[in-house]
Amino acid sequence: MRAAPPPPLAAHPTPLSRLLGIALDALRTGAEERGGPLPAGGPEAVTARVRAALGEVLPGTGTGPDEALRTLVHLVAAGAADPAHPLCAAHLHTPPLALAAAADLAAAALNPSMDSWDQAPAASALEAEVTAALAAEVHPTADRPDALVTTGGTESNQLALLLARERHGPRLTTVTGANAHHSFRRAAWLLGLPEPVAVPTPRGLLDPEATARVLAGLDGPVLLAATAGTTDEGLIDPLPALADACAAHGADLHVDAAYGGPLLFSDAHRHLLDGLDRARTVTLDLHKLGWQPVAAGLLTVREATDLAALAHTADYLNAGDDTEAGLPDLLGRSLRTTRRPDVLKAAVTLRALGRTGLGALVDLCLERARDLADLVEKSPELELRDRPVLTTVLFRPAGADDAAVAGVRRRLLADGRAVLGRARADGRLWLKATLLNPHTTLDDLARLVTLVETARPTAPAARP
Ligand SMILES: *Cc1c(COP(=O)(O)O)cnc(C)c1O
């Protein structure tokens, strides 16, 4: 028996285009079956449906590309928490732009790998241009800023701590606010650094005077990690005063702007990031307020020379004589080896929308958050935590206890009607809406408010 020919490659445009049609169709039928922001029935029902549709993971004889694509893309779409649905608003989980997803498909089809020039000639040149331009956006007064492409804020924060450790040695103390992202604790653990010192943030923000007192009381080198856009409340630490405190105490400043960084594109809101330029390193995520498919992270540095610590050689990728002969050495641009050209979708987006287009999307999402806060303030049944700064709105049923707040969230999830997050602030539990969808309307927000007003909480778990 003659063996079947191998399946077509992504570089074969006709089969790719036909299969893409099947995948797009399955996305549509899956979304129709779901009919809302997430599948109803909770984890048990979803797992049962996945197992039933999947059957054998590795069948003896394959089902062929059409069936496999249709079945599994439909399955995952039907069971998705769909960030493009206006009532899916829990996390910094962005609805990707169509143009960015199309660019990401092209990246997958070409499959450049960014660890050596001979696997990614144009893609690596594009990455160098885009990272230089974005680094200059973040650090306009720096002489030689630079940026690395990362998988997101977690990797960027880890790299920031690693670069600081390489500058100062393993006795480096990291100081964060209690409002900081959890990734700093893990990064310190991973890098063998002392556990970060957390400054209390009773109002959700680092207080410059309290922070300066902590810095004054520490011996040895210190990195202060401030946040521009806290994950729980979308607040921006007072960056200029914190930069002053760092300067006064000889501490380095890192700013985690994973969430708030894209305010740089907005004429109306850029001023909220005043002081960002003074940070030695900055974390920026374009898979949040940048509408990119995961992954699209950046770490910018004020001083390109800080990145020398990541230099690394492997003869098959960046042999000394190849580098001397002019082949760019890319291995020191990441801790990863094989690496996707995530820069392509970002470059397409920056070019397609321009600063004005991106700024307008940022402004629109900030405006929607204010609209939601208005609706909550008007509702006698609901309590608003505070006016939003970015796109995060915390609210809760008035007079409810924490268990009831948690129960409302789980009820909406179980019914598949809305996806809201949770956050602790002021010692209490709040529902969290994170608005990243520029297509969300006032009617959508009114529907969300009504759903919360009328939700019956799930019963708290029975105590044994
Ligand atoms: C989302 C977020 C992170 C983590 O980013 P990932 O892309 O999820 O790794 C870090 N810091 C802040 C402030 C964030 O909002």
Q: Are strands 392-397 and 382-384 parallel, antiparallel or unpaired?
A: antiparallel
Residue 157 Cα: closest atom of ligand 1: 10
Q: Is the CB of 153 under 6 A from ligand 1?
A: yes
Residue 6 has a pLDDT of: 86
Q: Is the CB of 211 under 6 A from ligand 1?
A: no
Would the pLDDT of 145 be above 70?
yes
Number of H helices, E strands in the chain: 14, 11
Tell me 456's DSSP state: P
The long-range contacts involving 376-381, CB below 8 angstroms and separated by at least 24 positions, are: 376/449, 379/449, 379/453, 381/453
- Residue 153 near residue 181 (C-beta atoms within 8 A): yes
Q: Which residues lie below 8 Å from residue 210, measured CB to CB, with a gap of 6+? A: 199, 200
pLDDT digits (tens, 9 = 90+) for 8-22: 999 899 999 999 999
Residue 285 Cα: closest atom of ligand 1: 7
Residue 231 Cα: closest atom of ligand 1: 15
Residue 297 Cα: closest atom of ligand 1: 7
Q: What is the mean pLDDT of residues 181-189?
A: 98
379 Cα: distance to centroid of ligand 1 (angstroms): 32
64: tokens are: 């062929």
Substitution site in 227, 239, 256 for ligand 1 pocket (most atoms within 8 Å of beta carbon): 256
Q: Is the CB of 285 under 6 A from ligand 1?
A: yes
pLDDT digits (tens, 9 = 90+) for 270-320: 999 999 999 999 999 999 999 999 999 999 999 999 999 999 999 999 999
Substitution site in 254, 259, 263, 285 for ligand 1 pocket (most atoms within 8 Å of beta carbon): 285
Would the pLDDT of 459 be above 70?
no
Q: What angle do CA 335, 339, 343 make, to 5 degrees?
A: 110
Residue 183 Cα: closest atom of ligand 1: 10
Residue 428 β-bridge partners: 425
Would the pLDDT of 215 be above 60?
yes
- Residue 345 near residue 107 (C-beta atoms within 8 A): yes
Q: Is the CB of 290 under 6 A from ligand 1?
A: no
Q: What is the mean pLDDT of residues 420-437?
A: 97
Q: Is the CB of 256 under 6 A from ligand 1?
A: yes
pLDDT digits (tens, 9 = 90+) for 216-226: 999 999 999 99
Residue 154 Cα: closest atom of ligand 1: 9
Question: Residue 231 — pLDDT band, cuts 50, 70, 90?
Answer: very high
**Backbone angles phi and psi of 327, in degrees to 5:** -80, 125
Q: Are strands 281-285 and 428-434 parallel, antiparallel or unpaired?
A: unpaired
181 Cα: distance to centroid of ligand 1 (angstroms): 7
- Which CA distances in Å does 462 have to 250, 401, 458, 459? 53, 16, 11, 8
Residue 288 Cα: closest atom of ligand 1: 1
- Residue 37 near residue 88 (C-beta atoms within 8 A): yes
Residue 214 has a pLDDT of: 98
Residue 464 has a pLDDT of: 47
Q: Is the CB of 233 under 6 A from ligand 1?
A: no
Q: Is the dihedral of CA 122, 128, 129, 131 positive or negative?
A: positive
254 Cα: distance to centroid of ligand 1 (angstroms): 14
Residue 461 has a pLDDT of: 54
Would the pLDDT of 401 be above 70?
yes
The structural domains of the chain, ordered by start, are: 13-80 (no CATH), 112-352 (3.40.640.10), 353-455 (3.90.1150.10)
Helix (H) or strand (E) holding 445: helix 442-454
Substitution site in 92, 184, 263 for ligand 1 pocket (most atoms within 8 Å of beta carbon): 92
pLDDT digits (tens, 9 = 90+) for 67-101: 999 999 999 999 999 999 999 999 999 999 999 99
